[in-house]
Amino acid sequence: MSKISWSFVWGIFVTITFITLLAIHLEFFRKNQGPLPVIQSPKAQRPTDTWMNIQQNGKKIGVVHRTFTLRDKGFHFTENVFMQINTMGVMQPLNISTQGDLNPDMTVSSFNFDLTSSLFRFNAHGYVAKNKLILFTGLPEAQQKSEIPLQELPHMSGSIYDAAFRANLGKNITRNFSIFDPATQAMRSIRVTRNADEIISIMGKRILAQKYCADFMGANNCTWMGKDGDTLKETGILGLSLEKVSPAKAQEGISQNGSIDFTQIASIPANLKIDDAEKLSRLKIKISGIGGLLLYLNGDRQSFRKDILTITRERPSSSVLQSSANKPTQDVTFFLQATPLVQANHPQMKAQVDKIIKTDDVPEQKVKKIVHWVYRNVEKKPVLSVPNALEVLKNKVGDCNEHAVLVAALLRTAGIPAQIETGLVYLHGRFYYHAWNIAYIGNWITADAVFNQFPADVTHIRLVRGESSEQLDLIGVMGKIKLEILEQTK
């Protein structure tokens, strides 16, 4: 770890979860609940043009522009988000554009989601056909098609709060919705409650607003809406908020100084110093603040009992791991397959793997060579993106997310089942959100290409295992989880 002077932690995760949590604007899916009522009163007509400033602890870091227009055969919506994000001390621009067409009954016909940063671009677009959402992800030259089954046609209403408003949700009434996030291709449940009305100050006026609060996987945020359904204000995790402003106010500059580093405010202070993590064989930590959240704390090298987590570093046995009889079992061969963002067995991946390993290398050698190649060849730089293995292979730059998706793709191409783990890692007195890999070579062994570790040191605390859809489960712990180091064993 001493070779890295700063932490390549999971900066983009905070950005994506913020957009997911505060500006969910794609489909929300409803199960066994019949269509939402369409309110005909002029008071319920959604405003056609809204500008909002994005703030972090009172400093402007971005702007949102939303439109909603009537067309002959339904409606058209757009949402454009521009942010300046401080991740790991580096200010970076982020543009997110979403647009789509709705049918007369407000069900979605099609959508397009585009995320662009200084180095990477991610696109997801799709349409509804009968009982399926046909989804395309990735850029045209490496596009992946998938289908998501639907129990009902999806509806779109700008955000789940718009859905609650249109449903005439009564005071102190809670309703569950299912939402789809294009960045992670995940569907999750969200609970929305209408609270008591409040008077708030917006654009120099005192306005009686309807207040709605949502519980999204343990994370809470609230919004205030005007009598016409106009979103006036939203608040969420990590000091982030949205507030309606005039078009002129929205065009004012974004704060360039004093913006708090997302990775820093999301990190967790350690009660004890860890001097040489790579020499530890075991780490015991007390974890609190996670409530009943479903995290993957127990299993493999981690043991979790009564709030105490014990992490034991793996010690691969070459005599066992290199045995020709030790082949992947049927239940792990699933992790040899390609996914939309981990493009295993793509011709470009095969060509690169052939340059890194030899055909007669045993599994352990393959893992070590691939991890070391990614460590040596991918520039360690914070980027804002939805990590895509083919793009990382091409650009050879990124933080831990980019390292993890590329390692997973290369390992799977080399015939090694591989997954991505996400959680926390210790560095310079704090625990930071981080992503790494596990590889199956007779049993699951951790690997971290950012730090060139195989196995990874015991300060890697796994909270979830899986790709982007599973990583959404971390939203609920941010700002809540607390760690107390109890024992360090060498």
pLDDT in tens, 205-215: 999 999 999 88
Out of 25-39, 123-137, 436-450, least confident range? 25-39
pLDDT > 60? residue 334: yes
pLDDT > 60? residue 124: yes
pLDDT tens digits for 66-85? 887 888 777 888 888 888 87
Q: 55 or 305: whose pLDDT is higher? A: 305
Exposure of 39 in the CB half-sphere (CA atoms within 13 A): 18
Question: pLDDT confidence of 369, banded at 50, 70, 90?
Answer: very high
Out of 15-29, 36-50, 292-306, least confident range? 15-29
Considering the four listed CATH numbers 3.90.79.10, 2.170.150.70, 3.10.620.30, 2.60.40.10, the one that applies to the domain covering 267-489 is: 3.10.620.30
**Rounded distance, CA 456 to CA 314, Å?**
8
**Rounded distance, CA 353 to CA 344, Å?**
10
Task: Classify residue 10 by burial, with Cβ atoms within 10 Å: 0-12, 13-18, 19+.
Answer: buried
For residue 306, what are its two tokens? 């009564």
Is residue 384 within 8 A of residue 92, CB to CB? The reply is yes
**Rounded distance, CA 65 to CA 69, Å?**
13
pLDDT > 90? residue 259: no
Average pLDDT over residues 182-196: 76
- Backbone φ and ψ for 465, nearest 5 degrees, come out as -130, 130
Helix (H, G, I), strand (E, B) or coil at 164: helix
Q: 461 or 12: whose pLDDT is higher? A: 461
pLDDT > 60? residue 175: yes
Question: What are the residue boundaries of the structural domains of the chain, listed by start?
Answer: 12-250, 267-489
Q: How far is CA 259 from CA 89, 92, 238, 264, in A?
A: 9, 12, 12, 11
pLDDT > 60? residue 194: yes
Nearest Cα to Cα of residue 180 among 257, 131, 240, 113: 113
**Rounded distance, CA 199 to CA 224, Å?**
9
- Backbone φ and ψ for 226, nearest 5 degrees, come out as -75, 175
Maximum Cα interatomic distance, the chain, rounded to a whole number of Å: 75
pLDDT for residue 129: 87
Q: Which residues pair with 467 in a beta bridge?
A: none
pLDDT > 50? residue 452: yes
Is residue 252 within 8 A of residue 57, CB to CB? The reply is no
pLDDT for residue 67: 85
